[in-house]
Amino acid sequence: MEYEAIIGLEVHVQANTATKMFCACPNNFGSEPNTNVCPICLGYPGVLPTPNREAINKTVLAGLMLNCEIPEFSKFDRKAYWYPDMPKNYQITQYDLPFCIDGKVLVEGKALTGELEPKYIGITRIHLEEDVGKSTHAGTYTGVDYNRAGVPLMEIVSEPDMRTADEAWAYLTALRQTMQYAGVGNCDMEKGQMRCDVNISVRPVGQKEFNTKTEIKNLNSIKSVHASIDYEIERQIEMLENNEEFKQQTRGWNEASQETYVMREKEDAHDYRYFPEPDLMPVVLTADKVAEIKEKMPETPAAKRARFVEELGLPAYDAQVLCLEKATADWYETAVATGADPKKVSNWIMTELLRELSDAGLSINECPITPENLGELLGLIDKKVINGRIAKEVFAEMFKTGDAPGKIVKDKGLEQVTDTSAISEFVIQAIDNNEKAVGEYLAGKETALNFLVGQVMRFSRGKANPNLAQEALKEELAKRG
């Protein structure tokens, strides 16, 4: 029998505001425990919340980027939930009137294990809520740090539109990309800035109704989301084949064994007792206000990819790689703006720059080379000041020192030698030192010439213009023949 998986994701993204959602404490990762707290985010007696404008604007911007509708009327609600890292034992969230509804996001191109046909994944809603503190479990006790409590958290709920691990991977990648493009969240999953829960069930192809779903939690990377889905699909198919009974489960992901495991068999009957937050007034987002936010909306990753293909003539794969991170795409566009050939810039970034960055463990924002300098380097090649081989050497030096290519070429005397008298000196050296090759060439073996050109380059330490070198060689050999 053939099966298909039904996958929906609930993704939490911390908004990268300066302060927390409902108080003026800094929204900082990595501070000393319990230092970014105040009576409000600790839930002290008598305190009241006040919502952060920037968090709301960022949520709306995220929604616009994901093609959501922004309802005019939104409000906050309380959700009852007992947990030591939840200071008030209720969370301020949005129940029935979230800031964003009915969005969609395009997934396409190369995914982790295969190529995807373009497809839209529906977004049910994005609501804004407050994050909880962080519990550290130490055997007999649990220690709580409330620095994270109250950090603005967007929850993005997808439709159950995904069918494969690759689609979920692509959806998450697209979401992260979009958040970063919009500048609303840093989405570092290791820092917990982006967290993902997977809802998944499997059914025989052709069956209309959904089977009982499983929720997977504790996923620390997009890769583990992918792996856990693949694992879970297989596990559930096996259960179906064996006619095993399904119970609604919450499962965790064991990164070491690459397996899911049962966290909770049957959910404790949750009764969240939502009701409108009496301490907060409703939010009205007029069309004008939304338009104002829309004006600041950057190009979406999908639009940027399309433009790179259509206007700059890049292959789709290049566009996908360059647009993965907005910073990379921006870097690329700045380099192209210097007048360099778009495809050549793309090649340099994809083959040289990204590799160097990855080896050095740096992000594009920390790149020692400026895009203007890469443009300049390509210009030097075009103007034949240096050749391609020297350019790679210069590039490595640029990466090491951050110096401009012109300066490096000048300081190191790497200008291409175009002076024919200088070149003929290297030609004579090459001929004198390679009698065998010369003999072969003169005997009619054309390929021996390439070897001799290489020798000229070697004696010139790469600086000779290869075309001029070849001509001069032919000339000189003709004399000898």
Partner 1 sequence: MAKLSAKPVAGSIAGAAVQLATGDITAVALVEGIYSRYEEVDDEVKGYLQINKEKALVAAAESDARRAAGNTLSAYDGVPIAIKDNISVDGETCGCASKLLEGYTATYDATVVQKLKAQGFIPMGRTNMDEFAMGSSTENSAYQQTRNPANTDHVPGGSSGGSAAVVAAGEAIAALGSDTGGSIRQPAGFCGVVGLKPTYGRVSRFGLVAFASSLDQIGPVTHTVEDAAILLDMIAGKDQLDSTSIPDVECNLAASLKGADVKGMKVGLPKEFFEIDVLNDEVKAKVEAVRDQLEAAGAELVEVSLPNLEYAVSVYYVIATAEASSNLSRFDGIRYGARVEKTKDVKDIYYLTREAGFGDEVKRRIILGTYVLSSGYYDAYYLRAQKARTLIRQDFEAAFEQCDVILGPIAPAPAFKLGEISDPLQMYLSDIYTISVNLAGNCAISVPAGETESGLPVGVQFIGDSLQEEKILKAAQFVEQQQAQQGD
Partner 2 sequence: MSESDIQVAHIAKLARLQLTPEEEAEFQTEIEAILSYVDKLQNLNVDGVEPTAHATQITNVIRDDVSGKTQDREKTLANAPDVADEVLLKVPAVLGGAH
> Which residues lie near partner 2 (CB under 8 A)?
17-19, 23-26, 32-39, 42, 50-56, 75, 80, 82-84, 132, 135-146, 217-218, 252, 263-264, 271, 273, 276, 278, 280-284
CB of residue 254 vs partner 1: minimum separation in angstroms? 24
Chain CA centroid to CA 165, Å: 17
259 binds, among partner 1, partner 2, none (CB under 5 to 8 A by kind): none
48 binds, among partner 1, partner 2, none (CB under 5 to 8 A by kind): partner 1
217 binds, among partner 1, partner 2, none (CB under 5 to 8 A by kind): partner 2
Q: Taking the CB of residue 218, how many other CB atoms lie within 10 A of it?
A: 18
88 binds, among partner 2, partner 1, none (CB under 5 to 8 A by kind): partner 1
Indicate the residue among 271 and 311 with the shorter CB distance to partner 1. Answer: 271
Question: One-letter amino acid identity for 215?
Answer: E
Indicate the residue among 44 and 210 with the shorter CB distance to partner 1. Answer: 44
43 binds, among partner 1, partner 2, none (CB under 5 to 8 A by kind): partner 1
Burial environment of residue 47 by CB neighbours within 10 A (0 to 12, 13 to 18, 19 or more) = middle
Q: 265-292 as b/e, with b when 16 or more CB fall inside 10 Å?
A: eeeeeeeeeeeebeebeebebeeebbee
Indicate the residue among 143 and 315 with the shorter CB distance to partner 1. Answer: 143
290 binds, among partner 1, partner 2, none (CB under 5 to 8 A by kind): none
Indicate the residue among 74 and 416 with the shorter CB distance to partner 2. Answer: 74
CB of residue 141 vs partner 2: minimum separation in angstroms? 5
**Nearest alpha carbon to residue 36 among 64, 54, 17:** 17
45 binds, among partner 2, partner 1, none (CB under 5 to 8 A by kind): partner 1
CB of residue 371 vs partner 1: minimum separation in angstroms? 43
CA distances from 375 to 119, 211, 257, 383 (A): 36, 56, 47, 12
Binding site for partner 1 (CB under 8 A): 39, 42-51, 78, 80, 82, 84, 87-90, 142, 144, 146, 271, 273-275, 278-281
Indicate the residue among 94 and 455 with the shorter CB distance to partner 2. Answer: 94
41 within 8 A of 146, measured Cβ to Cβ = yes
426 within 8 A of 464, measured Cβ to Cβ = yes
Distance between CA atoms of residues 28 and 36, nearest Å? 8
- DSSP codes of every residue in 357-388: HHHHT--GGG-SS-HHHHHHHHHHHHTTSS-H
CB of residue 25 vs partner 1: minimum separation in angstroms? 13
169 binds, among partner 1, partner 2, none (CB under 5 to 8 A by kind): none
Distance between CA atoms of residues 40 and 311, nearest Å? 51
Indicate the residue among 142 and 467 with the shorter CB distance to partner 2. Answer: 142
CB of residue 40 vs partner 1: minimum separation in angstroms? 8
What own/partner pairs with CB < 8 Å and gap ≥ 24 does 290-298 have?
Answer: 290/60, 290/64, 290/70, 293/57, 293/60, 293/61, 293/64, 294/64, 296/61, 297/61, 297/64, 297/65, 297/182, 298/65, 298/181, 298/182, 298/183, 298/326
CB of residue 283 vs partner 1: minimum separation in angstroms? 11
Per the DSSP assignment, residues forming a β-bridge with 199 are 8, 215
CB of residue 284 vs partner 1: minimum separation in angstroms? 14
CB of residue 146 vs partner 1: minimum separation in angstroms? 8
- The dihedral through the CA atoms of 253, 257, 259, 265 has a sign that is negative
Per the DSSP assignment, residues forming a β-bridge with 69 are 101
The owner of tokens 């639009």 is 303
Indicate the residue among 50 and 363 with the shorter CB distance to partner 2. Answer: 50
Indicate the residue among 20 and 326 with the shorter CB distance to partner 2. Answer: 20
CB of residue 36 vs partner 1: minimum separation in angstroms? 15
